[in-house]
Homo-oligomer: A and B are copies of this chain.
């Protein structure tokens, strides 16, 4: 199973893990090398420098996320409401900790790096567009649909920020109720 030799993808994958666990600051070539059980001699074979890795991460994340949201909101026989509940479930609760961690790390990164900020903006644009289309499919006018999408995504990301340990036993039920508020049953 273990590839004898590393490639760009190996380093990118390790970099995203480091990003998820510790933010951009933790994607350092010597730490990644230790994680991959090689020396940085390997890294500088596959990448010109750390910048190149970091930019590959941005680009890869962007295209990946945009593809993902398009696929996730393509309703093949589903109703818009079902589609929305599906998207919500993808990020809800503990169902995708790595994805959520990367998402949050990315956004923290974007707060101080204009390149990351631009990437996140592009992804958000696409996501808001896709999700507000679903809300529009529910019969909402464009402004309301956009606002709902805005609320939808703010909730999703904000949920990852709220300390789970603040009241662990009440969160599950709260999430259910929030789901009902976010994607109304009968509009």
Interface residues of A (CB under 8 A from B): 21-23, 25, 101, 104-105, 107-108, 110-112, 117-118, 120-125, 128, 143-144, 146-148, 150-151, 153-159, 161-167, 170-171, 173-178, 181-182
Nearest Cβ in chain B — how far from A16, in angstroms? 15
Out of B121, B158, B175, which one reaches A165, CB within 8 Å?
A: B121
Nearest Cβ in chain B — how far from A168, in angstroms? 10
- Given A23-B108, A108-B108, A121-B165, decide whether A170 and B158 contact each other with a Cβ distance below 8 A: no
How many copies of this chain does the complex contain? Answer: 2
Give the most central of A107, A146, A151: most B CB within 10 Å. A151
Nearest Cβ in chain B — how far from A129, in angstroms? 9
Please indicate the chain B residues that have their CB under 8 angstroms from the CB of A111 in the complex.
101, 104
Please indicate the chain B residues that have their CB under 8 angstroms from the CB of A153 in the complex.
158, 162
